Structure 1
């Protein structure tokens, strides 16, 4: 596998992953969307299908890691060379930024309608309509389309939730369906992983929105911060380290556990 294969596969696969994953959240959240208020079930399955599509697209090119936590777990397990790790993670970050930008392009009119709606603006921090300002002190009204945030802000719980959810994801990848070289997902592994992501969303996603992927959270958060959206609010940078650091810990723990117990 060449450096070009890794770059193209991870960038393209992650871009599709974020386009479809962020797209389903936008479809459910934004006003003037035909899928508005479709609910958490739609979001959970939408993210699962996003993983399925992005991973199938890139599995034969780069192994479809699409997630720095997965890359770290595979490097610790031994399937990915440590010298390839920076290229994998850099490509995943670029893909996540591209995918998030394409979500905005796709829903441009809905973003504009949503962010100028008096009902939406009245419910934001600093206004009389806000019920609990502690619930989202720096999160704007559309940040959830791009990045995750906790329902209850408790650093320990939020960190542990992301570690546990990411551990489940990465250990599932390591134990089911790697490709022949062991550096990414095989055909069966893509399907299994997509179903695992749906399961994580339904079972473990409630507290924090299940980032389970540092690139998935940080790349789109950067796009949110840069886009010229009126009334978009803050990007909640005080929380941003948790969906980066905690999934990396969970991925590393899964790689170590696999080598120690399951290999």
Structure 2
């Protein structure tokens, strides 16, 4: 299948109309329509319902969506791996939760670039399910996450233990406007055990960055890694609710058993060192 067809499909779905997809792809609307018709002919089904409001996925379109994503990602990864420029000996793809990139792995990227200048890197943000699937498919070489799953041919190593603390914006009523961040099933189990009578939150977020930005702009409270909110607490932007329990959440690094050890092990060694230095500084 031509990957341009899959890209056009994703653009039409993401923008909600063939007109907007054409603008995004810098082609004509008739080209988008022709590509979608060709794709539908290849698959033998109708992918979109077209009307004046735009284009919406059919049931078949929704089922094809995940395959289109995988197809495009696989081709992008292949181009990254195969099309290495002169002087680059290997390429590595790394994925992690956004909260682990922030304050930890972004700095690590700089260290890798300085220590291993002949390595090409591709990075992405994801939740555990996407990261694990990327590792299983071979799209990712290294994944850093909170709740990995054991799979054949993958090795799991604990990287650090996050301490999640309940923080709030200053004010007498801020603690009542609780924002629940989905830090994964392990956190949920600890939270439920400590707050068995807690009702459903008025607001929840699956990404810590989103929950924290909302809290800072609108007030409220929520559980966040001390590593991420330490500076905000020191400046008084947030306050720590000392009466609430802390939770410990391990973060893990996952990689393939048959990895290129000369490259991957060196990169993970730099990540371990960064964690040790961060712990020493704390």
Q: Same fold (TM over 0.5)?
A: no
TM-score, normalising length from structure 2?
Answer: 0.25
Which has the larger share of strand?
2
TM-score, normalised relative to structure 1: 0.26
Structure index of larger Rg: 2
